[in-house]
Chain A
Amino acid sequence: MEPFKSHTGIGVPLRRSNVDTDQIIPAVYLKRVSRTGFEDGLFAAWRADESFILNQEPFKAGSVLVAGPDFGTGSSREHAVWALMNYGFRVVISSRFADIFRGNSGKQGLVAAQCEQSDVEQLWKILENDPGTEVTVDLEEKTVRAKDFQTTFAIDDYTRWRLLEGLDDIALTLRHAEDIDRFERERPSWKPVTTPVAAE
């Protein structure tokens, strides 16, 4: 994962709440076995509508998505994060994220920046009044800036540290391999294993 310090890019106002993962990428686009190429499925149903925001200049080239509350609800599909990133998004701003989506974002280097809904409304106004306005998201400072508006966002410290350093979770966990070994030695013997049993 590449380290993320700060990012500046065109902000896209998405005035919708409950943007679920079936909207971000419908199931029929989940059949690939790679991590790339999912941008074609991003908001597929909405993009079929000419008036959808990502079909308009200059939002097409956006990289900071500013959405309503409860972004990323529904399925655990990490494809939703891949689709956003494959398209070019680096940051999503919302007042509330679904837990799994937020976790998936942190693993892939997409910043899920949680702002107050009033700040989201402010950003929407700025981005709608002057399309193409750039938004700067600074992960070190935990700030969002657009024109003369500035606010802070919330992100948990551990995810922030990992993103700033660009660290791989698995490598971090394997530093504690001895703890895992010890835990496994102490597990109760009656815990089930998946290897086929004789009775089957």
Chain B
Amino acid sequence: MTTTRPRTLAEKVWEAHTVRRGEGAEPDLLYIDLHLVHEVTSPQAFDGLRLAGRPVRRPDLTIATEDHNVPTVDIELPIADPVSRTQVDTLRKNCKEFGVRLHPMGDAEQGIVHVIGPQLGLTQPGMTVVCGDSHTSTHGAFGAMAFGIGTSEVEHVLATQTLPLRPFKTMAINVDGQLRPGVTAKDIILAVIAKIGTGGGQGYVLEYRGSAIESLSMEARMTICNMSIEAGARAGMIAPDETTFAYLKGRPHAPQGADWDAAVEHWKSLRTDEGAEFDAEVHLDADALTPFVTWGTNPGQGLPLAESVPDPEKIADENERFAAEKALSYMDLTPGTPLREVKIDTVFLGSCTNGRIEDLRAAASVLQGHKVADGVRMLVVPGSMRVRQAAEAEGLDKVFLGAGAEWRQAGCSMCLGMNPDQLAPGERSASTSNRNFEGRQGKGGRTHLVSPLVAAATAVRGTLSSPEDLN
């Protein structure tokens, strides 16, 4: 690359993966370094390969796991739902036929696809990572260009290890300052989405920057990048730094010896150049942030926990007002009710947003010495079997069980309710997951998105709460 123009991180990664530059209206052809596969969005793609007589071009850059519809209890038994079982069996057959490495239910490396990639050290700075799942944006926390794709694109990557795509526009999300105690990465991203809206990031790759982002752990960075899609952006990125390198070092697939040195040398160049221009910029003050929760049925409908359910009458934009009215009706909430008074039936701790070890530690630190309130059920679902194992080694499972929560096996679980972990109609949850869409966690279920700290405090008090409410 001979260009001397200052470039953004996203532009650098894109250019380093351009197999062929598109001419005119034609998109670029982008090389894909890592393709993550799961049971729900892949069967039709493998079928397509079979029909066309095509092999998987790079099984060695492809890895599969079972996460979306697997049960989180009794995993040693056959899956009860025959349709789910068929889907999981289909993945197993396809992986065998096409030579793709698979971590099935019960395997030590099984887990949510976006938890196991980083955990294995397969997700590295400067890579292109795709998966038939919109939360692939998670991997951008390592300075990778990572985004979700549809099943036709899954087939395309399996067949060619490339994707025809036009470059994204770039948006800087500057978060400066220091988070107060009790305020987390989840609160940052919920505030960002409330600020720019569910469509605000459309067509962009977001780059999260600033002192507040730099001071975050890898787990917290993953939480932020994970929900880029909830702001409409296919990808979110954070420039790699010493925190990133320290996380990666020694992981099973991280480079070793001289390769490690060469890799780190390259990774250090993966920063937005001084003077590079973004197509858009947004600023957020970390000092001013407080715990955030959603009140509506899209992730942009959020507010600080200290506030009250909003009054649609006061919303100027007609479409937004109408959406807010519909949301409040679905959520069965009355304008003016303090959010802290909203009663919760179920607390879900888990998902690719907040199902990593640090999230479990945070929640356990709040639950320690407390009990889950009467009438509230709390599900704790580790993001992977390794996370589960690590939590048990630290005794976190005892804290959860002692408080009266359920300690489950790894999977996507109640984030999307594809397995039996669902809300009943009318049931209300405080959930550390990523989407509060109507019926997302079960038909008729009502979801409030929260951080792990808020989830744990809510479980204890039975209403939306932050840890300081327990004092």
Contact = CB atoms under 8 A, between A and B. Distances in A.
B155 interface: yes
B83 A78 contact: no
B252 A197 contact: yes
Interface string B141-167: 000000011111101100111101010
Interface residues of B, number: 88
A194 B63 contact: yes
B61 A70 contact: no
A44 to B, nearest CB: 8
B20 A194 contact: no
Contact of B326 (A16, A99, A191): A16
Contacts of B136: 76
Nearest to B252: A197
A177 B105 CA distance: 36
B60 A194 contact: yes
B437 A76 contact: no
A120 to B, nearest CB: 10
Interface in A145-185: 156-158, 161, 169-170, 172-174, 176-177, 179-180, 183-184
A20 B447 CA distance: 15
B101 interface: yes
Contacts of B69: 31
B87 interface: yes
A160 B60 CA distance: 34
Interface residues of A, number: 65
B150 A26 contact: no
Contacts of A86: none
Nearest to B17: A183
B133 A76 contact: yes
B84 interface: yes
B438 A70 contact: no
Contacts of B443: 26, 28, 45
Interface in A31-77: 31-35, 45, 68-70, 73-77
Given A16-B326, A107-B153, A22 B440 contact: yes
A6 interface: no
A180 B232 contact: no
Contacts of B418: 27-28, 30-31
Given A33-B44, A98-B232, A22 B152 contact: no
A173 B162 contact: yes
Contacts of A188: 262-263, 266
Interface in B413-430: 416-418
B255 A190 contact: yes
A22 B437 contact: yes
Contacts of A141: none
A18 B298 contact: yes
Interface string B2-41: 0000000000000000011010111101010110000011
Given A96-B202, A108-B152, A157-B25, A194 B122 contact: yes
Contacts of A34: 43-44, 47
Contacts of B134: 74-76, 100
A35 B121 CA distance: 34
A67 B260 CA distance: 51
27 contacts: A20-B437, A22-B416, A23-B437, A28-B443, A31-B87, A31-B418, A70-B198, A70-B199, A75-B133, A76-B148, A78-B150, A99-B203, A99-B232, A99-B234, A103-B149, A104-B151, A158-B164, A176-B29, A179-B20, A183-B19, A184-B31, A188-B263, A191-B124, A192-B121, A192-B255, A193-B61, A194-B101
Given A78-B152, A194-B60, 9 more contacts: A20-B437, A26-B443, A33-B44, A34-B43, A35-B44, A70-B198, A158-B166, A170-B156, A184-B161
